[in-house]
Amino acid sequence: MTVEKVVQIDKLSFSYPDGTQALKDVSLEIAQGEKVALIGANGAGKSTLLLHLNGIFCRNGRVQILGMKLEKRNLKFIRQKVGLVFQNPDDQLFCPTVFDDVAFGARNLNLLEEQVTQRVTRALEAVGLAGFEHHSAFHLSFGEKKRVSIATVLAMDSEILVLDEPTSNLDPRGKKEIVQLLRKIDGTQIIVTHDLGLAKNLCDRVVVLSKGKKVADGNTEEIFHNQAFLESHGLA
């Protein structure tokens, strides 16, 4: 039986309008249920790659999600399947209240409002923010905003979770809780992190980007064991 590939990227290159080439010929396949850590030094292209997974950047048909080409007519479907947590929560949160932010994606799934409320309650509990429904995200601390960002995708029950530094700025307990939470979720996860301990803890597979190129893809233990390799890519 062949394992279903939920993400297929074929030689993806991407340059920003100012000419900065952020990705060079990156190919990547991820099977259903895999938990993959995406690591690399600052500026390696990690966030740029993630932004291609739900069509924020939509280029030259080189990305497929669940067998669907990432192009305009498929965006609605793909955005229901891929829950993306941005690196910066200010890019994610734009509603007047925490409730509305967390409900936003779930409302797009055409659920009954009662089901949406249940999902929001459950997601906020999971990130340790029960009772924050009526706060304005604008006034929360950075770490609290990060938790709300994670709650927005939890409430969507997305098949593929894509998280850009989910534990940055979280306090130690918050970090532990997010790790425990992610471990309990069965679906496919792609996690960008600078925390190698977290990567090791959650992911059997690691992909390393360096200056826009994929320079390693394999077993986490093996890659992390190679100190010289990590050092040469600014990771140790």
By CB under 6 A, tell whether 44 contacts ligand ATP: yes
Residue 191 CA: distances (Å) to CA of 25, 111, 179, 212: 20, 28, 11, 17
- Applying CB under 6 A, which part among 4-12, 41-49, 99-107, 173-181 lies near ligand ATP? 41-49
By CB under 5 A, tell whether 92 contacts Mg ion: no
Q: How far is the CB of 46 from ligand ATP (least distance, A)?
A: 3
**Which 19-38 residues touch ligand ATP, going by CB under 6 A?**
20, 22
174 binds, among ligand ATP, Mg ion, none (CB under 5 to 8 A by kind): none
**Which 20-49 residues touch Mg ion, going by CB under 5 A?**
46-47
Nearer to Mg ion, 47 or 201 (CB): 47
By CB under 6 A, tell whether 45 contacts ligand ATP: yes
Long-range CB pairs of 178-181 (<8 Å, 24+ gap) are 178/127, 178/147, 178/150, 181/126, 181/127, 181/154
By CB under 5 A, tell whether 158 contacts Mg ion: no
C-alpha to C-alpha distance for 121 and 36, rounded to whole angstroms: 28
By CB under 6 A, tell whether 142 contacts ligand ATP: no
Q: How far is the CB of 43 from ligand ATP (least distance, A)?
A: 4
Nearer to Mg ion, 53 or 103 (CB): 53
By CB under 5 A, tell whether 80 contacts Mg ion: no
By CB under 5 A, tell whether 87 contacts Mg ion: yes
Nearer to Mg ion, 46 or 214 (CB): 46
149 binds, among ligand ATP, Mg ion, none (CB under 5 to 8 A by kind): none
Interface residues toward Mg ion, by CB under 5 A: 46-47, 87
Interface residues toward ligand ATP, by CB under 6 A: 16, 18, 20, 22, 40, 42-48, 87
